[in-house]
């Protein structure tokens, strides 16, 4: 069943933000270092009960992390939800998300990386537009956090189009043309992990965005081939290649380059494909809304995305 698109209400000065850690543990000092940035934005904040918990490679149990998420959506005072970090673990409870609760209490939801699984599940389960953007402990708190990454939070307060051109970073066209469609995607590993599940990424007539970290070329090859075999590359109207950080091969003498892998899977699809977007595990990390219409012009090397808030 298709869900009607829901844009969350824009944030305003003085609004309360809920901070959650849906996946791996985050350092308390890093979360607290991000508070001054939130204050500069004019936001108040409350920290979820499981954010500082540690359960091996998870921030508390699945039940605790899910309860945090539900509590933040349920709380009428909380106007937006920011993820403290990613890592691993969001998919472990994605089948237990209360879609009716989220649909009845739509609000800004912001994060990336492992959070991709939640973006996909929430968007496809409710129609809510969510935001792929830098997280508080893993990005905002770091010394290298870029001024432009910070400015991208402004789209939560004023409905503005996101416009990406080579003024931000060099871009390379793998295949020309112009395509329009709903923006979907995120972390390539999480997109591949969704295949065969109830939360499987839907790419038909969509603009598919991909990024990842720590995956050397043969692993990116495997992930893209999985999407290819599932028809996801064929169904998309265009492909946006974001940042692939720390992708150096462990054996440089016996490998294809990342560019060769992208060329093999994406250059001959007969649809617009552009790479080089600073979106993902990088600085700056250009935040984008998912679930609204975008326009990829591979000839002019531009990406324009409609506002994500109402």
For position 290, what pLDDT does the model report? 98
Determine which one of 34, 182, 215, 281 is catalytic.
Answer: 281
- Annotated domain spans of the chain: 16-156, 162-305
**Residue 102 near residue 8, CB atoms below 8 Å:** no
Dump pLDDT digits (tens) for 101-124: 999 999 999 999 999 999 999 999
* Mean pLDDT within 126-143: 98
Output the CATH code of domain 162-305: 3.50.30.60
2 confidence band (pLDDT: 50, 70, 90): low
- Among 34, 90, 194, 211, the active-site one is 211
| Proportion of the chain above pLDDT 90, given as a percent | 97
Among the options 34, 50, 113, 138, which is catalytic? 113
Q: How confident is the model at residue 145 (pLDDT cuts 50, 70, 90)?
A: very high
Pairwise CA distance, residues 151 & 144, whole Å: 14
In the predicted model, what is the mean pLDDT of residues 133-148? 98
> Is 281 a known active-site residue?
yes
Residue 287's Cβ-side half-sphere holds a number of Cα atoms within 13 Å equal to 29
User: What pLDDT score does 252 carry?
Assistant: 85
182: which residues sit within 8 A by CB, 6+ positions away? 205, 206, 207, 291, 292, 293, 294
Catalytic-residue membership of 113: yes
Q: Same fold for the domain at 16-156 and the one at 162-305? A: no
**Inter-residue contact 255 to 223 (CB < 8 Å):** no
Evaluate if residue 128 carries a pLDDT over 90.
Answer: yes
pLDDT band at 1 (very low <50, low <70, confident <90, very high): low
Region label for 214, one of left (φ > 0), alpha (ψ between -120 and 50) or beta (otherwise): left
Phi, psi angles (nearest 5°) of residue 304? -125, 130
What mean pLDDT is reported for the chain? 97
Residue 212 burial (10 A CB sphere; 0-12, 13-18, 19+): buried
β-pairing, 16-20 with 78-83? parallel
Q: How far apart are CA 123 and CA 233, in angstroms?
A: 19
Question: Is CATH 3.30.450.20 what the domain over 16-156 is classified as, yes or no?
Answer: no
Query: Does 254 have pLDDT greater than 90?
Result: no
Q: Average the pLDDT over 219-241 and give the result.
A: 98
Q: Exposure of 164 by Cβ count < 10 A (0-12 exposed, 13-18 middle, 19+ buried)?
A: buried
Q: What is the C-alpha separation between 154 and 149, in angstroms, rounded?
A: 10
Q: What is the mean pLDDT of residues 52-64?
A: 98
pLDDT of residue 227 exceeding 60: yes
pLDDT at 287: 98
Euclidean distance between CA atoms 97 and 94, whole angstroms: 6
């Amino acid at each position: 069943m298709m869900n009607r698109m829901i844009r969350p209400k824009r944030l305003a000065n003085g609004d309360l933000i809920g901070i959650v850690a849906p996946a791996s543990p985050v350092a308390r000092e890093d979360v607290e270092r991000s508070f001054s940035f939130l204050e500069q934005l004019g936001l108040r904040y409350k920290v979820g009960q499981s954010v500082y918990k540690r359960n091996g490679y998870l921030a508390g149990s699945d039940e605790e992390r899910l309860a945090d998420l539900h509590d933040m959506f349920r709380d009428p005072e909380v106007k937006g939800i920011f993820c403290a970090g990613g890592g691993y673990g969001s998919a472990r409870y994605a089948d237990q998300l209360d879609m009716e609760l989220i649909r009845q209490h739509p609000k800004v939801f912001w994060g990336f990386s492992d959070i991709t699984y939640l973006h996909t599940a929430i968007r496809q389960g409710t129609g809510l537009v969510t935001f792929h953007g830098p997280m508080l402990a893993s990005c905002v708190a770091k010394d290298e956090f870029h001024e432009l990454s910070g400015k991208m939070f402004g789209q939560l307060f004023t409905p503005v189009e996101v416009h990406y051109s080579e003024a931000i970073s060099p871009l390379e066209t793998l295949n020309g043309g112009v395509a329009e469609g709903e923006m979907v995607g995120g972390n390539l590993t999480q997109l591949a992990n969704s295949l065969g599940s109830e939360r499987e990424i839907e790419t038909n007539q969509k603009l598919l965005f991909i990024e990842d970290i720590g995956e050397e070329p043969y692993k990116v090859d495997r992930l893209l081939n999985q999407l290819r075999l599932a028809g996801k590359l064929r169904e998309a109207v265009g492909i946006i290649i974001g940042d692939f950080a720390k992708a150096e091969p462990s054996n440089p003498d016996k490998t294809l380059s990342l560019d060769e892998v992208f060329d093999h899977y994406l250059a001959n699809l007969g649809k617009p494909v552009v790479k080089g977007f600073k979106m993902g595990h990088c600085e700056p990390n250009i935040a984008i809304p998912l679930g609204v219409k975008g326009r990829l012009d591979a000839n002019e090397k531009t990406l324009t995305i409609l506002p994500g808030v109402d």
